[in-house]
Amino acid sequence: MSEPTNPVDALLDRAQDLRQTLGGNFRDELVEAIYTDAQAIADRASVKSDSGRLDFDQRIDRLLTAPMLGLPLMLLMLGGVFWLTIAGANVPSQMLMSGLFWVEGAGSRLFEHLGAPWWLTGFVWHGVYRALAWVIAVMLPPMAIFFPMFTMLEDLGYLPRVAFNLDRLFSKAGAHGKQVLTMSMGFGCNAAGVIACRTIDSPRERLIAILTNNFVPCNGRWPTLILLATVFIAAAFPPEVASVAAAGSVAMVAVIGVLFTLVLSAILSRTVLKGTPSAFTLELPPYRRPSVVRILYTSLIDRTMFVLWRAIVFSAPAGGLIWLLANITISGHSLAFYLTDWLDPLGHAIGLDGVIVLAFFIAIPANEIVVPTILMLYLGNTMMTEELSSSSSWRSLFVGEHDWTLLTAVNLMLFSLLHNPCSTTIYTMWKETGSAKWTAFGALMPLAVGLVVTFTIAQVWYLFT
């Protein structure tokens, strides 16, 4: 070391020497001193009131975390949120749909009136616009119901208790306790769930939470699940219990999703993302009256509009693509016909068919258009339709004309749960991780899992039938 030439260097050298003499515990002492001072100031300035509120909170907490009661209460609460979302979104969805489709009719008539060529009218109104209308009508009402309710549970202080109850499972999987929260958020929307992973401080566990978020079904996938449950599973039960059976099977798919989340988290944390769980220091805040304005703001602006906007941006081109595939014909057949023909062997291997596989490809921008796309391809319509109204007409179309079996229904439900995330989620993953590699992994890993699962089930099924 050379002799310092000026006072600044001398000072820096001195600081460097002093740093070496610092004990390892200086941080502890620093924090301790801060807390001691803060405590002294707080004691001087505040008077503690009677702890009546504390007792009230404690009583609720004992109830919510009790061994026999905690789990049923939790399932009931979350089940209630799902049920309200499904039931409550139905009517506004129908209204939005008819309103938006009326605009489509009017718009295309206006184009025709102005003398626009048929392909322009078709592409703009029956392609791009129709996909947008569909996504908005299907997505907006459930999100506008689900997110405020979810935010309210969060605001009440209930969600941290859920995390507290389930932490053991996640800690066994090597994941962070807060992943319960980001996972529940994924039930609403996986892109929002991925954004919520920001609250996990440890980079390793944040990545695990981001990569496995897609294993729980989002709002865009609920309609597919509910439709299949109604058409295939409810039909096997007497009418009185049919709706409960359908709801139960949808809930079971959700539970399967949670299981896959846990299993994949465990595999990731033992292989590519090896490490020990970091501090899970969940604060359990006192229960408080939710603030309505804040709930509406965070849930509608931060979550609903944000997610909807991204879905719109991504589904518009998809709508155009569907229209083109169905309307460009080569020697008498549409492009969609050739593609489904080509995809049929793959579809058959995983218990589905070429049409369904193509629908999943087209629906990468927005999962809600899976069922409409399947319908469009089956019916040979040149645009997405929702003309079938009763579950018996669905059934006669799927089973009667396109040879669907129980295998098709089960595998379609599973594949809907286990496949690549929608492009909105993929884009969000990329934004959040800043890594193309992890984004690609997060997109392909669930797809691989889905292919393996559906392939296995299909092959076993074929073996026995």
Segment lying near another protein (by CB under 8 A), choices 20-28, 137-145, 346-354, 398-406: 20-28
Q: Is 10 in the site for another protein (CB under 8 A)?
A: no
- Please report how close the Cβ of residue 38 comes to another protein at its closest, in angstroms: 9
Q: Which is nearer to another protein, 46 or 390 (CB)?
A: 46
Whole-angstrom Cα distance, residue 37 to residue 29? 12
* Chain centroid to CA 88: 19
- Shortest Å distance, C-beta 211 to another protein: 16
State in angstroms the smallest separation of the CB of 255 from another protein: 16
Kindly write down the DSSP assignment for every residue of 155-173, as one continuous string: HHTHHHHHHHHHHHHHHHT
Single-letter residue type at 68: M
Find the helix packing angle between 423-433 and 203-212, rounded to 10°: 170
19 binds another protein (CB under 8 A): yes
7 contributes a contact to another protein by CB under 8 A: no
Q: Work out which of 149, 166, 185, 307 binds another protein, going by CB under 8 A.
A: 166
By CB under 8 A, residue 405 contacts another protein: no
Which residue, 28 or 401, is less far from another protein as judged by CB? 28
- Separation between Cα atoms, residue 431 and residue 412, nearest integer Å: 30
Nearer to another protein, 110 or 284 (CB): 284
Tell me: does residue 31 bind another protein (CB under 8 A).
yes
In the complex, least distance from residue 17 CB atom to another protein, rounded to whole angstroms: 8
Q: Select from 429, 317, 334, 413 the least CA-distant residue to 370.
A: 413
Residue 61 engages another protein in binding (rule: CB under 8 A): yes
CA distance 93 to 96: 5
Instruction: Name residues contacting another protein, limited to 260-289 (CB under 8 A).
Output: 274-286
Q: Is residue 69 classed as helix, strand or coil in its secondary structure?
A: coil
Residues 180-219 interacting with another protein (rule: CB under 8 A): 201-204
* Stretch binding another protein (CB under 8 A), from 19-27, 126-134, 296-304, 436-444: 19-27
Nearer to another protein, 51 or 456 (CB): 51
Q: What is the CA radius of gyration of the chain?
A: 27
Residue 28 touches another protein, criterion: CB under 8 A: yes
Query: Considering only CA atoms, which of 103, 84, 45, 82 is closest in space to residue 253?
Result: 82
- Number of residues in contact with another protein, rule: CB under 8 A? 48
Ordered DSSP codes for 199-235: G--SHHHHHHHHHHGGGS--TTTHHHHHHHIIIIIGG
Residue position matching structure tokens 């079996």: 405
Nearer to another protein, 211 or 253 (CB): 211
- DSSP, res 329: E
**Looking at beta carbons, which pairs linking 274-280 to residues 24 or more positions away fall under 8 Å?**
275/174, 275/204, 276/174, 277/171, 277/174, 277/175, 277/176, 277/205, 278/176, 278/201, 278/202, 278/204, 278/205, 280/167, 280/171, 280/176, 280/177, 280/178
Report 369-388 residues binding another protein (CB under 8 A).
Answer: none
**Binding span for another protein by CB under 8 A among 18-26, 75-83, 231-239, 428-436:** 18-26
State the Cα–Cα distance between residues 145 and 187, nearest whole angstrom.
13
> Is 45 near another protein (CB under 8 A)?
no
The residue type found at 336 is A
Do 148 and 178 touch, CB atoms closer than 8 A? no
By C-beta, is 42 or 241 nearer to another protein? 42
Minimum distance from CB of 182 to another protein (Å)?
A: 17
Smallest separation (angstroms) from another protein to the CB of 35? 5
Binding mask 63-92 for another protein (x = CB under 8 A): --xxx--xx---------------------
Closer residue to another protein, CB minimum distance, 75 or 244 = 75
The DSSP element (H or E) to which 13 belongs, if any, is helix 7-21
Smaller CB distance to another protein: residue 169 or 295?
A: 169
Minimum CB separation of residue 31 from another protein in Å reads 4
Using CB under 8 A as the binding rule, whether residue 169 contacts another protein is answered as yes
CB-CB neighbours of 245 under 10 Å = 17
Task: Kindly tell me which of 204 and 221 has the beta carbon lying closer to another protein.
Answer: 204
Q: Provide the 3-class DSSP secondary structure of residue 334.
A: strand
Shortest distance (Å) from residue 212 CB to another protein: 18
Separation in Å, CA 149 to CA 44, 73, 137, 190, 434: 41, 16, 19, 17, 31
Contact status, residue 131 vs residue 322, Cβ threshold 8 Å: yes
Structure tokens at 401: 């004309």
Task: State which residue, 204 or 303, has the beta carbon closest to another protein.
Answer: 204
Residue 312 token pair? 């719109």
Site residues (vs another protein, CB under 8 A): 1, 16, 19-20, 22, 24, 27-28, 31-32, 35-36, 39, 58, 61-62, 65-67, 70-71, 160, 163-169, 171, 177, 201-204, 274-286
